[in-house]
Amino acid sequence: MKPYISQSSRIVSICREQGIIVRYLLDVFIPELKQSKKEQFENETLFTLYSGTMNGLPFLMKRALDFSISLILIIILSLLFFIIALLIKLTSPGPVFFIQERVGLNKRRFRLYKFRTMVANAEQKLNEIEHLNEVSGPVFKITKDPRITRIGRFLRKTSIDELPQLFNVLIGDMSLVGPRPLPVRDYNGFSQDWHRRRLSVRPGITCLWQINGRCSIPFEKWMELDMEYIDRWSLWLDFKILTKTIPAVLNCSGAR
């Protein structure tokens, strides 16, 4: 094999492992036909390699449903939003919303919105309790986080704190269903390239991890479930995850 072909193959393999769409000329090397699409650019024939199944008309329908459903839910839940905001202000000094930079589609960063469930300076206090981490991998979770407020514990248990993410869905930063968006700190802790493939799709409010135990499952299993979602994706799978999320939330399964 010629050196430039070997180098090209290595680059394509790295990109595919991370979920990056690849386009290359037909005469560079023999393409894998699985999940590939033949295209024309000027007088050249290109092959585009996709990771997973999230493309085409079904993908556009997913975005249309995300926009419509999130808008309807925001309107329906507006009174609940007001009540929760009032309770947060009455029980703890600080802002109503917790806003944090997260890593989303194609590694772009965005501002994620949640109802604040911790003390106002919780981010600054993380270093003091980082040694108490109870989960594997780069993420941080502990059962009895001392930074959580009284109303915050209820909001987390019922997942009501996640509802402001409907605004993220509405503006296109997130989807209703997709891999959970991780903070920049957690993303920087990734040690495997294949973990980054979860960034080839929009992050979501709920996912396979959410309905399979949430914080009770180890980090590697969480990542594997995200890969499974990307590879198996369909509108029907999204519908099944959404319907299973409701009982998972009501049962408070895996919540911390």
Interval 153-176: pLDDT, tens: 999 988 999 999 999 999 999 999
3-state secondary structure of 164: coil
Q: Tell me, what's the pLDDT at 178?
A: 95
Residue 243 has a CB neighbour count (10 Å cut-off) of 10
Per-residue pLDDT at 241 exceeds 80: yes
Are 19 and 38 in contact, with CB atoms under 8 Å apart? no
Average pLDDT (69-97) is: 95
pLDDT for position 64:
96
Q: For the purposes of burial, counting CB atoms within 10 Å of the CB of 129, is it exposed (0-12), middle (13-18) or buried (19 or more)?
A: middle
| Residue 227 CB neighbour total at 10 angstroms | 18
Residue pair 161/190 in contact (Cβ under 8 Å)? The answer is: no
- E strand map for 97-203: 97-103, 109-115, 175-177, 182-183
Please report which residue ranges of 19-56 form alpha helices under DSSP H.
none
Specify the DSSP class assigned to residue 144.
Answer: T
Q: What is the pTM of this model?
A: 0.79
| Predicted confidence (pLDDT) per residue in 16-37, tens digit | 666 666 665 555 444 444 455 6
